[in-house]
Amino acid sequence: MSRNVLIPIVAVVALALLGAAGAYAYFFSGLRASPTSLALSSPSATPAASGSPSTTTAGAGTWKVASGSLVGYRVKEQFAGQSSTHDAVARTSEVSGQVTITKSGDTYEMTSAKITAQLANLASVDTVAGFNVRTRDGIVQRSLDVSSFPTAVFVAQSAELPQAAATGQTVTVSVPGQLTVHGVTKDVTATVQLRVSASTAQLAGSIVTNMTDFGISPPQVSITVVQPAVTIEFQLNLTSAS
């Protein structure tokens, strides 16, 4: 093949590769979407219906996790050839547990809380054009070894609450506790928003941690690099326990 013929062919191939790279960059950077972080619903928790069980003191009592609650994770993944990251987000509604709030004088305190999430039901809720994100769920389940460790459990230590929590106002508090995932228990701190209204309440917030602290390696996917930092998010609807 003569040099005069070879040069145009090489140029065409180079342009094609550059075009493909540009299309790849647009495809994955422009057509990705992740839901916002879990938060309290607006405007407030649903008022108690007539005949509903009530707490001894407004805000004080034992609360159980009700339907509509969500727990999930958010991690950063980076596609090959991309400089920006994408939030991979998965959630489950299989959540149970209870929270106890007491009042002494004018002081409110979350004296105990235990929340359990079923990990086998985690389902991805972000989107990436041309990629079935539900494929990621199987990889995550294997990384978590859900057959041996099916749950994630957060057990809170006591935390004092602002008095405004009893009047239906949204309050924010740091709640220390222990998180157990993959058979490993670590001390963590949850940032929690709380709102109470009659016999219903809501909690929302997050725990920032690292999956490697729990003996979990970042999932391996051929076209992405997954960062080990993970944010656990929760949105809990609570009802007064009868």
Residue entry with tokens 């309290």: 40
Question: Do 22 and 42 lie in a common domain?
Answer: no
Question: Do 81 and 24 lie in a common domain?
Answer: no
Question: Do 210 and 121 lie in a common domain?
Answer: yes
Mean pLDDT for 109-115 is 96
- Looking at per-residue pLDDT, the higher value among 14 and 115 belongs to 115
Question: Do 11 and 64 lie in a common domain?
Answer: no
pLDDT band at 109 (very low <50, low <70, confident <90, very high): very high
Question: Do 90 and 143 lie in a common domain?
Answer: yes
Mean pLDDT for 210-216 is 97
According to DSSP, the β-strands at 224-240 and 61-65 are: antiparallel
pTM, full prediction: 0.80
Question: Do 4 and 103 lie in a common domain?
Answer: no
Flag whether pLDDT at 217 surpasses 90: yes
- Residue 236: CA count within 13 A, CB half-sphere: 31
Burial annotation 182-212 (CB, 10 A radius, 16+ → b, else e): beeeeebbbebbbbbbbbbbbbbbbbebebe
Flag whether pLDDT at 222 surpasses 80: no
Question: Do 24 and 140 lie in a common domain?
Answer: no
Q: Which of 18-32, 152-166, 205-219 has the lowest mean pLDDT?
A: 18-32
Domain range for 15: 1-30
Question: Do 199 and 104 lie in a common domain?
Answer: yes
Phi, psi of 76 (to 5 degrees): -95, 130
The answer to whether residues 215 and 185 touch, using CB atoms and an 8 Å cutoff, is: no
Q: What is the pLDDT of residue 153?
A: 98
Question: Do 126 and 179 lie in a common domain?
Answer: yes
Question: Do 47 and 140 lie in a common domain?
Answer: yes
Question: Do 48 and 23 lie in a common domain?
Answer: no
Q: What is the pLDDT of residue 139?
A: 92
Domain count, the chain: 2
Question: Do 49 and 78 lie in a common domain?
Answer: yes
pLDDT band at 78 (very low <50, low <70, confident <90, very high): confident
Q: Which of 51-65, 68-82, 117-131 has the lowest mean pLDDT?
A: 51-65
